[in-house]
Amino acid sequence: MDFGGGGRPGEKVDEGVLMNEVQSTLRAQLVQEFYQTVRDKCFKMCITSPGTSLSSSDQKCLSRCMDRYQDATNIVTKAIVNQ
Protein backbone atom coordinates (compact mmCIF):
# COMPACT_ATOMS: atom_id res chain seq x y z
CA MET A 1 0.00 0.00 0.00
CA ASP A 2 1.44 3.39 -0.97
CA PHE A 3 0.78 6.08 1.63
CA GLY A 4 2.91 8.58 -0.26
CA GLY A 5 3.74 10.70 2.78
CA GLY A 6 6.97 9.36 4.20
CA GLY A 7 10.19 8.21 2.68
CA ARG A 8 10.89 8.35 -1.00
CA PRO A 9 8.13 8.94 -3.56
CA GLY A 10 6.38 5.68 -4.41
CA GLU A 11 8.00 3.82 -1.52
CA LYS A 12 5.75 1.16 -0.03
CA VAL A 13 5.10 1.28 3.70
CA ASP A 14 4.90 -2.03 5.54
CA GLU A 15 1.35 -2.10 6.93
CA GLY A 16 2.42 -4.21 9.92
CA VAL A 17 5.12 -1.72 10.90
CA LEU A 18 2.71 1.17 10.45
CA MET A 19 0.05 -0.57 12.55
CA ASN A 20 2.57 -1.25 15.32
CA GLU A 21 3.60 2.41 15.35
CA VAL A 22 -0.02 3.56 15.52
CA GLN A 23 -0.82 1.11 18.33
CA SER A 24 2.27 2.18 20.26
CA THR A 25 1.29 5.84 19.92
CA LEU A 26 -2.27 5.10 21.05
CA ARG A 27 -1.03 3.15 24.09
CA ALA A 28 1.23 6.04 25.08
CA GLN A 29 -1.67 8.48 24.75
CA LEU A 30 -3.95 6.26 26.84
CA VAL A 31 -1.35 5.98 29.59
CA GLN A 32 -0.83 9.74 29.57
CA GLU A 33 -4.59 10.36 29.68
CA PHE A 34 -4.98 7.85 32.50
CA TYR A 35 -2.40 9.55 34.70
CA GLN A 36 -3.75 13.02 33.91
CA THR A 37 -7.23 11.93 34.92
CA VAL A 38 -6.03 10.23 38.08
CA ARG A 39 -3.99 13.25 39.01
CA ASP A 40 -6.71 15.81 38.30
CA LYS A 41 -9.86 14.06 39.46
CA CYS A 42 -8.47 12.02 42.32
CA PHE A 43 -6.44 14.92 43.68
CA LYS A 44 -9.50 17.17 43.68
CA MET A 45 -11.60 14.50 45.34
CA CYS A 46 -9.09 13.19 47.89
CA ILE A 47 -6.80 16.00 48.96
CA THR A 48 -8.75 18.22 51.32
CA SER A 49 -5.82 20.07 52.89
CA PRO A 50 -2.73 20.24 50.64
CA GLY A 51 0.48 20.22 52.61
CA THR A 52 3.99 18.86 52.61
CA SER A 53 2.83 15.26 53.05
CA LEU A 54 -0.24 13.09 52.55
CA SER A 55 -2.30 11.86 55.47
CA SER A 56 -3.09 8.16 55.62
CA SER A 57 -6.72 8.89 54.68
CA ASP A 58 -5.53 10.93 51.66
CA GLN A 59 -3.28 8.04 50.61
CA LYS A 60 -6.12 5.51 50.93
CA CYS A 61 -8.50 7.75 49.00
CA LEU A 62 -5.98 8.26 46.20
CA SER A 63 -5.28 4.54 46.02
CA ARG A 64 -8.98 3.64 45.83
CA CYS A 65 -9.67 6.37 43.29
CA MET A 66 -6.83 5.21 41.06
CA ASP A 67 -7.92 1.58 41.35
CA ARG A 68 -11.51 2.44 40.40
CA TYR A 69 -10.42 4.49 37.41
CA GLN A 70 -8.05 1.73 36.27
CA ASP A 71 -10.82 -0.87 36.56
CA ALA A 72 -13.18 1.33 34.54
CA THR A 73 -10.51 1.92 31.91
CA ASN A 74 -9.88 -1.84 31.63
CA ILE A 75 -13.60 -2.55 31.18
CA VAL A 76 -13.94 0.08 28.45
CA THR A 77 -10.79 -1.12 26.71
CA LYS A 78 -12.00 -4.74 26.71
CA ALA A 79 -15.38 -3.65 25.32
CA ILE A 80 -13.69 -1.72 22.50
CA VAL A 81 -11.33 -4.60 21.68
CA ASN A 82 -14.20 -7.11 21.59
CA GLN A 83 -16.30 -5.09 19.15
pLDDT tens for the chain, 83 residues: list them.
445 555 566 667 788 888 889 998 998 898 898 789 888 999 999 998 888 999 999 999 999 998 998 898 889 888 888 87
pTM value surpassing 0.75: no
Q: Are 45 and 61 in contact (CB under 8 A)?
A: yes
State the Cα–Cα distance between residues 5 and 15, nearest whole angstrom.
Answer: 14
